[in-house]
Structure 1
Amino acid sequence: MRIRDHRKDDEPEINMIPLIDVILVLIIFFVVTATFDARSVLKLELPRATGEDAKDSSRALSVLINADGRYFVDDREVLRDDIESLKATLAEVAGSDRNRKVLLRADARTQHQAVVTAYDALGQLGFRQVMIATAPEVRPQGKTQ
């Protein structure tokens, strides 16, 4: 007579649920701690000028133009450099508020055509309060006006 063991054969098994949980927690941690600041990516060298600082630019729409002539509206990059793409992105980000102030930050080394295109797109959409950002002029030591 053959005596048979009725215990279930133990097959090795890898439980994936804890591994997936740990990976999701790590992904969430890295996404939350990552900085998404457009100014950290873009290295702008603003043109120099003398003048007063703008007092109320807190809710201004930010339009950045880097040295290569690429446009960034707030935190969104305009994929093409034509005026229609720029207008579409401006309209999407600004919504229907055309009284919103616009802060144009163009690199000092960018081509003049890129700045003119930005002004043209803003004018066609109806933005009338456009400010241009500049860096303060560096004065040599000892000279005063």
Structure 2
Amino acid sequence: MRSWNESKKNKAHIELIPMIDVMMFLLVFFVLISLNVIPSQGMKTQLPAAASAQQIKPQKRAIVTLGENNQLELDGEGVTLEALVARLKAGQASIDSTAIILNSDKSVPVERLVAVMDSLRQGGFTSISIATRKL
């Protein structure tokens, strides 16, 4: 009997290299997104805990961070206590609608926190909140 050269049927198989490429892209995107999801403006602080902590409502706000060694930052940029009110007034159109959040490390003395709050009050800012973490 005569035999013809018939081509062998190709079996279906899974290609590993494209699957590895996709997994690597997913890993890279996950790492990049996780680094930028948490807004890390300025210095790291350990907030004090409070049982009555509330979620901040979205509004026009400025974040003042008090760190160790008398560091003071306004929205992630270093500032002195004397220039704090002037920079807040320059950056905000209306003082009444601006909410100021004091993000103070728990190692900062209360005297320093009160001095910053007093300076802001004398500058005309009345909506001042202290950031805490929920227990």
TM-score scaled by structure 1?
0.58
Give runs of aligned pairs for residues 29-108 of structure 1, distance below 5 A.
Answer: 39=40, 41-78=42-79, 80=80, 83-108=81-106
Gaps of 5+ in 2: 1-35
Kindly report the root-mean-square deviation, in angstroms, between the aligned alpha carbons of the 2 structures. Answer: 2.4
Q: Match for residue 115 of structure 1?
A: 113
8 Å contact from structure 2 (residues 64, 72) kept in 1: yes
Task: Out of 94-103 and 126-135, give the one that drifted further.
Answer: 94-103
- CA deviation after TM superposition for structure 1 residue 55, in Å: 4.0
User: 2: distance between equivalents of 1:136 and 1:89?
Assistant: 30
User: 1: distance between equivalents of 2:73 and 2:67?
Assistant: 8
User: 1: distance between equivalents of 2:104 and 2:67?
Assistant: 6
8 Å contact from structure 2 (residues 53, 133) kept in 1: no
- CA deviation after TM superposition for structure 1 residue 136, in Å: 1.7
8 Å contact from structure 1 (residues 99, 127) kept in 2: no
User: In structure 2, do the counterparts of structure 1 residues 95 and 69 end up closer, same or farther at CA, with 3 Å as the change threshold?
Assistant: farther
User: In structure 2, do the counterparts of structure 1 residues 57 and 68 end up closer, same or farther at CA, with 3 Å as the change threshold?
Assistant: farther
What is the CA deviation profile of residues 46-77 of structure 1, one whole-angstrom value per residue up to 9, with x for unaligned ones?
Answer: 11111142341443211111122211111321
What is the CA deviation profile of residues 6-45 of structure 1, one whole-angstrom value per residue up to 9, with x for unaligned ones?
Answer: xxxxxxxxxxxxxxxxxxxxxxxxxxxxx8x983541101
Q: Match for residue 123 of structure 2?
A: 125
Q: SS in structure 2 opposite 1:114?
A: helix
TM-score scaled by structure 2?
0.61
Gaps of 5+ in 1: 1-34, 138-145
Q: SS in structure 2 opposite 1:39?
A: coil
User: In structure 2, do the counterparts of structure 1 residues 63 and 119 end up closer, same or farther at CA, with 3 Å as the change threshold?
Assistant: same
Task: Out of 104-113 and 83-92, give the one that drifted further.
Answer: 83-92
| % identical aligned pairs | 23
Letter in 2 for 1:103: I
What is the CA deviation profile of residues 69-109 of structure 1, one whole-angstrom value per residue up to 9, with x for unaligned ones?
Answer: 2111113210x3xx422222322333543331111100000
